[in-house]
Amino acid sequence: MRTGIRVLLGLTTVAALTFGGSAAASAAAVPSIWKWGPVYSTDGHAEARGKVALAQSGFVVYGSLEDTLGSGCSWAQVRALSARGKVSTASYYNCVPGKGTFRKDYGAVLTIKVRACRGTATRPTGRCSRWKTVYTQGG
């Protein structure tokens, strides 16, 4: 009887390690936070970097925007394509030397792109980087 219990306990332990290990390995293969950046404006005086995080209601883009010139403003623009085909763009600016932060919440998205620009306190006026893809569904 004792041998039967030992064998049963041994098989249970092996099964738990096998199933637990594969679940942990598959969970580690799917990240829930993606880092991005740095993205620089074409003149190099605006720098944006951050993370895309999976949230309960969709995705959150966190970032910092640094202005190194001191005159004019640095801009970060975030563009997302929703699962319904709608394009949404949000813009953030920093007009003082140093870092500022931003955050944008999205629902279900297919892609998220970011670019850095220079501009005034009212709008980006140019010297923009190319759009950098920071998240793509399935890739």
**3-state DSSP helix/strand/coil percent for the chain, to nearest 5?**
20, 55, 25
Residues 3 and 60 in one domain: no
Residues 108 and 131 in one domain: yes
Residues 41 and 74 in one domain: yes
Mean pLDDT (the chain, rounded): 82
Domain span at residue 23?
1-30
Residues 24 and 45 in one domain: no
Residues 59 and 12 in one domain: no
pLDDT band at 83 (very low <50, low <70, confident <90, very high): confident
Residues 87 and 41 in one domain: yes
Query: Residue 38 in contact with residue 50, Cβ under 8 Å?
Result: no
Residues 79 and 14 in one domain: no
Q: Residue with structure tokens 């995080």?
A: 53
Check residue 71 and give its pLDDT. Answer: 81
Q: Is the pLDDT of residue 54 over 50?
A: yes
pTM of the model: 0.75
